[in-house]
A and B are shown apart, each in its own frame.
Chain A
Amino acid sequence: NAGVTQTPKFQVLKTGQSMTLQCAQDMNHNSMYWYRQDPGMGLRLIYYSASEGTTDKGEVPNGYNVSRLNKREFSLRLESAAPSQTSVYFCASSEAGRTGSNLNIQYFGAGTRLSVL
């Protein structure tokens, strides 16, 4: 069982270039999330998708767009990369949509390390 898979693992971009980070989960989870991790700041939510067909902004959405392609896949796009977007990006998923405490557990991918020069 692969869990949450992110591609690519590493990426270097020049300022102004665009790219899409891919995320797929095989746990049949309803909710998916994109975070960025910066030193001393923990994880900050960029966008989330509570269920297939819906997306909403998180804490730091500026400069990003997302697509919930289907229940399994949730992509993050940088239209015009900036050095401030140099970070480690994590995708996560959670069961949600059902009663019980397990709906709150988020499962994380291994991350994408992005450098914008």
Chain B
Amino acid sequence: AQSVTQLGSHVSVSEGALVLLRCNYSSSVPPYLFWYVQYPNQGLQLLLKYTSAATLVKGINGFEAEFKKSETSFHLTKPSAHMSDAAEYFCAVTKGGFSGGYNKLIFGAGTRLAVHP
């Protein structure tokens, strides 16, 4: 069975500091991995995805994540935090490949990022 663990339900950084949000996954098959962001009172939007191509994935708003199979991790980073990055971030996993239809997406519990001036 697949699962996702996000370490740290709340992360606080200063503006301009490095952002590191941790995600570890469990999957018995090669996974597809995603980071979604949720701004207050909004739905989730895709930040970036890993689909077995390059292990370092670049997303929107300067975020990137690195897939490390040996560590079963897919941590999200951004070199310099901006006030507008304050949001909740969700890591998610699904089995890769073409299934002919639905692929179940498993979400982590989320990490709320606060950015201080």
Contact = CB atoms under 8 A, between A and B. Distances in A.
A104 B44 contact: no
Interface of A: 4, 30-31, 33, 40-45, 48, 50-51, 56, 58, 90, 92, 94, 96-101, 103-111
Interface of B: 9, 32, 34, 36, 41-46, 49, 51-52, 90, 94, 96, 98-105, 107-110
Contact of B49 (A41, A45, A105): A105
Kindly name the residue among B36, B90, B103, B108 whose own CB sees the greatest number of chain A CB atoms within 10 A: B103
Given A40-B109, A42-B107, A48 B45 contact: no
A45 B44 contact: no
Given A4-B43, A104-B51, A108-B44, A40 B9 contact: yes
A104 B49 CA distance: 10
Given A45-B104, A108-B43, 7 more contacts: A42-B108, A90-B44, A99-B98, A101-B32, A104-B49, A110-B43, A111-B41
B101 A50 contact: yes
Contacts of B100: 97
A105 B51 CA distance: 11
Contacts of A99: 98
Given A40-B9, A90-B44, A31 B102 contact: yes
Contacts of B109: 40-42
Q: When A and B form their complex, which 6 residue pairs have the shortest distance between CB atoms, in order from nearest? A: A101-B51, A50-B102, A108-B43, A42-B107, A50-B101, A108-B44
A44 B108 CA distance: 10
A42 B113 CA distance: 15
